[in-house]
A = this chain, B = another copy of it.
Amino acid sequence: MHERLQALSRKVSNWGRWGPDDERGTVNFITPDVVRRGAAAVRRGAVFSLGLPLGADGPQIGQGGRFNPIHLMLGVDARIGDASFADDLVIMPLQCATQWDSLAHVHYDGKLYNGYPASSVTVGGAGRNAIERLGTGIISRGVLLDIARLKGVDRLTAGTVIAPADLEAAERAGRVRVERGDVLLVRTGHLGLFTRDKDRQAYMKASPGLGIACVEWLHAREVAAVAADTMLVEVMPWEDASLVLPLHMLCIRDMGLTLGEMFDLDALAADCAQDGVWEFLFSAPPLKVVGGVGSPLNPLAVK
């Protein structure tokens, strides 16, 4: 196993922190007072939807067997008496668009978050750390750090590493501080490649994102979850080619920190830039898919 991974793992591990049976990880930081802090962030009553549409025009390009949602009708005009109704169905990878990764999504060295054996994920689903463990939701205060805006660009180029210093510069620019239990949203502008330029390939093949140095920062700040407008939150290609998916490994498997991917932060960011307020109520309950290793969703931010 990679030395740096081992060293960082020892520093940031939350295994056992919430007991030997915990399957929720840093979402445990969202205590009632944190929820109240989130609700108190609502000032104007403005609501922003951060979820991508779920349909055939989604971002997937077929990598790893992932495909865009297939929406089909079970009935269109079924009648009983005067009444007519329609029913429908969806076939979709739980990782197809805006999503939470569950704490069963990744592992290394044969262990999932909190030390559960990797073999607890089988063809039947995740026996441990499944997404339905986060069923009481992820509702907290959200803080948006817009690194693209900070750098004065529409979007960071793919491969750009975001460092802790960038996060802190964005905090200072926004007069906001990421605190224990907050959900951190990081905007890179990269999503515009898909939503505006319609270039799925460019969007999915590489991206700017958090560098490995952010792991200790996220640990220190005790964030409940972190999400971004990219496929991976972390930078791709990786900073060190021999250390694959380091943030996924350290955040999800060691810290128990849920990652949110492909969040559409553009409208929210424009609003924050305008009123200078970068905090809000953040409500993003996952679907309670039994044994799920992730969930598509439609997160809300309320200012």
CB pair B302–A285 under 8 Å, yes or no, is: no
- Determine which of B55, B85, B92 lies in contact with A90 in the assembled complex, contact meaning CB atoms within 8 Å: B92
Once bound together, how far apart are the Cα atoms of A250 and B39, in whole Å?
A: 34
The answer to whether A67 and B70 touch (CB under 8 A), given A39-B281, A293-B86, A293-B87, is yes
Let me know if A291 and B35 touch, CB within 8 A: no
| Residues A125 and B54 in contact in the complex (CB < 8 Å), given A47-B139, A292-B71 | no
CB distance from A25 to the nearest CB of B (A): 16
* Docked complex: A99-133 residues within 8 A CB-CB of B: 104-109, 118, 121-126, 132
A74 to chain B, nearest CB (A): 5
Which B-chain residue is minimally distant from A121 (CB atoms)?
B86
By beta carbon, the residue of chain B nearest A295 is: B298
Among A1, A64, A302, max chain B CB count under 10 A is at A302
A73/B71 contact (C-beta < 8 A), A32-B45, A88-B292 known: no
Asked whether any CB of chain B lies closer than 8 Å to the CB of A230, the reply is no
Residue of B nearest to A282 (CB): B283
Cβ 8 A contact of A55, one of B285, B286, B291 = B291
Copy number of this protein in the oligomer?
4
- A48 near B: Cβ within 8 Å? yes
Q: Which of B40, B53, B244, B293 contacts A81 (CB 8 A)?
A: B244
- Asked whether, in the complex, the Cβ of A298 is within 8 Å of the Cβ of B287, the reply is yes
Quick one: given A70-B67, A74-B64, A81-B244, are A86 and B126 in contact (CB under 8 Å)? Answer: yes
Contact at A139–B53, with CB atoms within 8 Å?
A: no
Give every chain B residue within 8 A of A44 (Cβ-Cβ).
32, 36
Interface membership of A7, Cβ < 8 A: no
Q: Is A288 an interface residue (CB 8 A)?
A: yes
Determine the chain B residues whose CB is within 8 A of the CB of A2 once the complex forms.
Answer: 81-82
A46 to B36, CA, bound (A): 9
- Cα–Cα, bound, A42→B297 (Å): 23
Asked if A95 is at the interface (CB within 8 A of a chain B CB), the reply is yes
Question: Contacts A36-B42, A82-B2 known; A74 to B74 CB distance under 8 Å?
Answer: no
A277 at the interface (CB under 8 A from B): no
Residues from chain B with Cβ under 8 Å of A132 in the complex: 53-54
Asked if A298 and B74 sit within 8 Å, CB to CB, the answer is no
A59: interface (CB < 8 Å): no
Please give, as numbers and ranges, the residues of chain B lying within 8 Å of A75 by CB-CB distance: 64-65, 123-124
Q: Is A66 an interface residue (CB 8 A)?
A: yes
Q: Does A275 contact B (CB under 8 A)?
A: no
Which of chain B's residues has its CB closest to A119's CB?
Answer: B77
Given contact pairs A39-B40, A52-B288, A65-B70, enumerate 7 new A-B contacts (beta carbons under 8 Å).
A1-B82, A32-B45, A55-B290, A76-B121, A76-B123, A87-B95, A90-B292
Q: Give the 8 A-B residue pairs with the shortest CB-CB distance, closest first.
A: A32-B45, A55-B290, A81-B244, A35-B45, A39-B42, A283-B283, A83-B245, A285-B298
